[in-house]
Amino acid sequence: FLLTLGLFGAALFYGDSVITPAISVLSAVEGVEIATPKMAEFVVPITVAIILVLFGVQKHGTARVGTFFGPIMALWFIVIGLLGVASIVRHPQVLFALSPHYAVLFFIHNHTDAFLALGAIVLVLTGAEALYADMGHFGKKPIRNAWFVLVLPALLLNYFGQGALLIRDPSAVTNPFYLMVP
């Protein structure tokens, strides 16, 4: 029993500390392929380099990592929010999606598909879990402030911007996040 429990704990540890960061960094770097397919062969080496730097810097403490990555993350959220705003300005009718009326109609007309779409909505929000994983380092108040002041508005603007892009160009459904960039 103890061996099984130990293996289960080790699996959880590896999943959270090794596999999840690798997949997160890899999926972020894969966007380079969309910008220029010639970079496809460099995706894995770039990912490995980023992870090595992250793990190398991490031994100096989370304060140093936060000092380095905090401004980068803030800039990231500001940029994706601004990209969303630029797209929303071109097609403001995307904001009609805020009306519960359209959500109800969507469920009335698309029974099973509407239920499956809820799964995608859950995936959109699960990234927020990462904020709470670091609560021990930063505390509730800074996490809450960062979420409501920067992260949530930027994500909402970007998601609505992607919707506006799809109104303008339905073929952008292949990758609206990257195709929204001019």
pLDDT digit string (tens) for 119-156? 777 766 665 555 555 555 667 788 788 889 998 899 99
Tokens coding 68: 């380095």
**Strands (DSSP E) found in 25-106:** none
pLDDT of 26 higher than 70? yes
Q: What is the tally of structural domains in the chain?
A: 2
Query: Does one domain contain both 180 and 94?
Result: yes
Report CA torsion sign: 37, 38, 39, 43. Answer: positive
Of residues 13 and 96, more confidence is placed in 96
How crowded is residue 162: how many other Cβ atoms within 10 Å of its Cβ?
22
Residues 24 and 95 in one domain: no
* The pLDDT of residue 57: 81
The pLDDT of residue 35 is 76
67 vs 26: which has the higher pLDDT: 26
Q: Check whether residue 47 and residue 71 sit in a common domain.
A: no
The whole-number average pLDDT for the span 53-61 is 81
Distance of CA 109 to the CA centre of its chain: 29
**118 and 78, same domain (yes or no):** yes
Q: Residues 179, 101: one domain?
A: yes
Extract the runs of DSSP E, i.e. beta strands, from 52-131.
none
